A and B are shown apart, each in its own frame.
Chain A
Amino acid sequence: MKTAKTLLASIAFGLSLTALPTVVSANGVVTDQVNHLKAHLGEYSEEVSWLVEKYDGVVTTYTKKGKQTDTQQLIDYWEEVNFHSAIETQYIPIYATIWQGIYGMKTAIEEGADVATLRAEQSKLNQALWQALGAVKVAAHYQDKGVIAKVQTTEQEPTTAPAVIDDIEKRLDKVVAKYAEQLTEVATTMVHDAYLQRFEGIEGALIEQDADLVEDLEKDFNVTLPQALDGKTSVDKVRSIVETMKNKLAKARKLLVEAEQNRKDVF
């Protein structure tokens, strides 16, 4: 887990990027509530407390019923809260960690793990939920100051190479989230879409700057990441691959910005 300081720095960085282009989550349309976070912070705090209590109740049930415990309710509780959309649109990396935590508990129950193991998974999930609340509070602060862009209600096409890179990074974060949600086909399709709809548009310019970097990223998009999304690879491993790709994309971004500065004028 990240330290609080690192987390805040990451959030600030994440928020400085453009708003998410995709507004339909796996669980429905994101409402305009996500553009008024400050007005809903009290509600979100209550929801996180409610979730922590509900997940604790599931563990208590497990101590009595064992593997007969209904694990679907772990997912239903999370999807029921408005906080779900708030973190999905503001800071996807923690959104992915929450799903990882939910499935950590679900798997422990279904495999009949001892209660201590289940408690350890619950603890990880609780930590992710509180971190997420912190992230949303930071987002509300910056949103209130007008520093971050509104979450768009319609799909927006990035129009510059840096904007395309930002968009790809967001999409890759969502890949981790969807994989953590155990939607492996959705995650794989998202990788293909990120490659075909976004990376292909910039790789022609990038290959003029660094052919080896393009080759490396081509392999990541078409082999390394899709192969990792097989349902057996750990979420942490997939996250690690994505983080490595994002480091390469950051280098690509720098090269493309420099190339654009050196480009001749149209007229």
Chain B
Amino acid sequence: MCIDCGCGPTDHHHHHHDHSHDHDHSHAQGKRTLRIEEDILAKNNRLAGNNRALFGAKGLFVLNLVSSPGSGKTSILERTLRDLAGNIAFAVLEGDQQTDQDAARIAATGVPVHQINTGAGCHLDAHMVGHGIEHFDLDALDILMIENVGNLVCPAAFDLGEDHKVAVLSVTEGEDKPIKYPNMFHAADLLLINKIDLLPYLDFDLDKCKAFARQVKPDIEILEVSCKSGAGMEGWYAWLAQGVSRKKT
């Protein structure tokens, strides 16, 4: 299956791609400078491009959910999957360093889910996603949700082939997160401000938070939600439906 990364069907995780044959290159060419100018993320970006092309061919709308740990990504997914079951066909790729607790929560909603444990890795990459989707029948799906590892730094640097990164920020984290972790909020196209049911108990400044987000990403879309009370969720659902229909045409 994996022509581009060169790994066989059984060596999915711990493969090394450098099958060096060690020809004896004793040409004694001496000291010299090689100008190479190669992008360090080129391999990830190439695999992400393959994923994106496949998603495009299947008309699949793909989101990469990023946030710090505990902002509510899994909770938002659970509610979304339950509320939209019957209208939209979802699958979920769950990225976590350890355990499959989130995957079990998603499986309980009846939606196909596949867990990727990154171990020491602090983000998903395009190669993991390329293999993760082998577990789904992509033709049967409308939306693929990828829940990235809870981490506001590393996932920003890795394109997975998604249509959009969606950043989730909960109001208990403070309004300054967008300017403290600018790369992540810059990379996102949509910001979900979650747990707004808790606003009465906090001094979180919503307007300030939005201004900070626009400072690092002027055209970011922002929706305020609570997956606990359900407030604002219809805006998110409308955004999803729009994305699906755009992708199908």
> Do A and B make up one complex?
no
Binding site for B on A (CB under 8 A): none
